[in-house]
Amino acid sequence: MSMLKDWINKGRLKSPWVVHFDCGSCNGCDIEVLACLTPVYDVERFGILNIGDPKHADVLLVTGTVNHRNKHVLKNIYDQMPEPKAVIAMGACGLTGGVFREAYNVVGGVDKVIPVDVYVRGCPPKPEAIIDGVVLALEKVKAKLEAAG
Amino acid sequence: MRTILPFGPQHPVLPEPIHLKLVVEEEKVVEALPNLGYVHRGLEKLTDIRDYNQMVNIVERVCGICSCIHALNFCEAVEEMMKIEVPQRAHFLRVMWSEIHRIHSHLLWLGLFADGFGFESLFMQLWRIRERSMDLMEATAGNRVVISTNIVGGVRKDITEEQKTWILAEIDKIEAEVRQVEKTLLSDYTVKSRCCGKGVLTKEQAHQLGAVGPCLRGSGWAQDARMTGYAAYGQLDFEPVVEHDGDSYARCVVRFREVYTSCDLVRQALAKLPGGELAAKFKAKPEGEVWRRVEQPRGELFYYIKGNGSKFLERVRIRTPTFANIPPLLAMLPGCDLADVPVIVLSIDPCISCTER
């Protein structure tokens, strides 16, 4: 049993599956996430896959401010993901609300709703920074795996 | 039997959250009910606490993909209100950045569209070409997406002669590479079978429902807000791209050919680029009412601003092209197959963060 578990854990760390949720972003960050998948940056060479289903994902990548309508959607997606999981908040808006922090419909950063493991700064962050964020998130997943035994 | 299928807000083909309730009978869509509000931030109201110079940064973040053009429209509206004479060099540089933005936006959309009907290698190829336009923006403005070059009175950045030569060389490369994929996108059997005849918007419908941009031009109307001659467009030579079929394929062809138009406009703008100041100096407070419209990659963008003599504007109202294109979309969907929904939704180039602001 433990051999199987080791094998699964190895796969988790070597090929993280990322689900991306646009949580009220201006698209600037989202197109940079997509740019990571394309030939110039090509994160698939590190085994990082972008998928649509949160039930298959290890890492949740959230862009944009949280507002009163989509905070339930964000929580729902987070709850659907299997443990161990990591959350990356991306861009100035995802961190604190950015330039929109004083707008009436904005709750604030992603960490107001779900726990965040890695923060990637920038408006929008460069693709290199996003890749770095995913790599850092993997270390968090590793620590969670070790803690769980 | 009628079933209601939820489409979104988190869906693999949608980069942005929009929720459509699709009423289906067997495999046919009977009705589509949109449900918006997932990206609403309320940034028009921020004008109460941000002055007109700071608002340029806010309106740029209405939409990251066409940020430069939002700022261009806002600045032009404020300049008209305060009667500022913008230097000619600034006008031409604004056109250059707008058109580089349009190239990046159209290539982005063409890639997403290819991904929408399952042609992933084409998506990769188009985004590879798009990276050249991102490099152009990074090198000239310092950021890849939100370039913040427009300020009230002119532009913030200048380009050198060396950069000018390099930009022209890169534009030539973009055009040559786009020509290479033209055959794959526009004469491929599989692409045509997924797009031709899907989501037809007739010429009359397009006019009655108030479609804008490639959606309108794909249905046979030669209407482009750039023809009004804002910024330096009045001094440049171009023809709006028009197709007559009104289906998803026609809209795709319009955007594809607009990439060539944009390349040409960048060349013309750089060839005619005059010397001189970058930004005008001014001392005035915004007062009165002004509306402006410009052409965004997605269509006509409309700004209404009202000043009350203080540095805070009283009202900023933004009507974005996707907002105008949602009624046509709802007219296209009934009667289509469920499998064609992603292609049709993508064919209007939806930008939800623009629509909801």
Res B51 pLDDT > 70: yes
Kindly state whether B134 is in contact with chain A, defined as any CB-CB distance less than 8 angstroms: yes
pLDDT value for B283: 81
Q: Which residue of B has its CA nearest to A104?
A: B42
Overall average pLDDT of the B147-156 stretch: 87
Overall average pLDDT of the B299-328 stretch: 87
Res B13 pLDDT > 70: no
Res B12 pLDDT > 70: no
Res A148 pLDDT > 80: no
The alpha-carbon gap from A129 to the nearest alpha carbon of chain B, in Å, equals 13
* First-to-last C-alpha distance (Å) of chain A: 13
Overall average pLDDT of the A8-37 stretch: 83
Query: How far is residue B280 CA from its own chain's centroid?
Result: 27
Which chain B residues in 250-289 lie under 8 Å from chain A, judged by CB atoms?
Answer: none
- Please, which residues have CB within 8 angstroms of residue A140's CB and are 6 or more apart in sequence? A86, A117, A118
Q: Round to whole Å and give the CA distance between B201 and B218.
A: 9
Task: Please report how the helices A28-37 and A127-148 are oriented relative to each other, as an axis angle in degrees rounded to 10.
Answer: 80
Contact (CB<8Å) A123/B108 = no
Query: How far is residue A2 CA from its own chain's centroid?
Result: 28
- Whether the Cβ atoms of residue B247 and residue B200 lie closer than 8 Å to each other: yes
Domain extents for chain A? 15-148
User: What are the tens digits of pLDDT across the range A124-138?
Assistant: 888 889 888 888 888
The closest alpha carbon to B73, from B275, B319, B237, belongs to B319
**Mean confidence (pLDDT) of chain A:** 84
Overall average pLDDT of the B127-142 stretch: 88
B12, B41, B351: residue with CB nearest A103: B41
Contact (CB<8Å) B17/A29 = no
- Maximum Cα–Cα distance across chain A: 52
Res A71 pLDDT > 70: yes
Res B130 pLDDT > 80: yes
Res B30 pLDDT > 70: yes
Q: Round to whole Å and give the CA distance between B63 and B349.
A: 13
CB < 8 Å to A29, chain B: 64
Cα–Cα separations (whole angstroms), residue A123 to A63, B44, B56, B244, B298 = 11, 20, 15, 40, 23
Among A18, A19, A26, the strongest candidate for a mutation testing the B interface, having the largest count of B CBs within 10 A, is A26
Going by pLDDT thresholds of 50, 70 and 90, the confidence category of residue A149 is low
pLDDT value for B157: 86
Res A57 pLDDT > 70: yes
CATH of B37-356, one of 3.90.70.10, 1.10.3210.10, 3.30.70.100, 1.10.645.10: 1.10.645.10
Kindly state whether B11 is in contact with chain A, defined as any CB-CB distance less than 8 angstroms: yes
- How many residue contacts between A and B have a Cβ separation below 8 Å? 123
Rounded to two decimals, the pTM is: 0.87
User: What are the tens digits of pLDDT across the range A86-121?
Assistant: 899 988 888 888 888 888 888 888 888 888 989 988
The closest alpha carbon to B99, from B249, B294, B277, B275, belongs to B294
Q: Round to whole Å and give the CA distance between B322 and B319.
A: 9
User: What are the tens digits of pLDDT across the range B287-304?
Assistant: 888 888 888 888 888 889
User: What are the tens digits of pLDDT across the range B170-202?
Assistant: 999 999 999 888 888 888 888 888 888 887 888
Res A1 pLDDT > 70: no
**Least confident interval from B51-60, B121-130, B154-163, B181-190:** B181-190
User: What are the tens digits of pLDDT across the range B330-343?
Assistant: 888 877 777 787 78
CB < 8 Å to B62, chain A: 26
Overall average pLDDT of the A47-56 stretch: 83
Q: Which residue of B has its CA nearest to A72?
A: B38
Going by pLDDT thresholds of 50, 70 and 90, the confidence category of residue B85 is confident
Overall average pLDDT of the A7-19 stretch: 81
**Mean confidence (pLDDT) of chain B:** 85
- Residue B108 main-chain phi, psi, to 5 deg: -60, -50
Res B281 pLDDT > 70: yes
Overall average pLDDT of the B89-114 stretch: 89
Query: What letter does residue A82 receive in the DSSP assignment?
Result: P
Overall average pLDDT of the B20-49 stretch: 80
Q: Round to whole Å and give the CA distance between B167 and B65.
A: 20
CATH of A15-148, one of 3.20.20.150, 3.40.50.12280, 3.40.30.10, 2.60.40.1220: 3.40.50.12280
Res B205 pLDDT > 70: yes
Overall average pLDDT of the B65-82 stretch: 88
Query: What letter does residue B272 receive in the DSSP assignment?
Result: T
Domain extents for chain B? 37-356
Q: Round to whole Å and give the CA distance between B314 and B50.
A: 11
User: What are the tens digits of pLDDT across the range A23-35?
Assistant: 878 888 888 888 8
CB < 8 Å to A81, chain B: none
Q: Residues B242, B100, A49, A148: what is their CA dihedral angle, to the nearest 10 degrees? A: -130
Contact (CB<8Å) B145/A32 = yes
* Per-residue tokens: B32: 């589509």
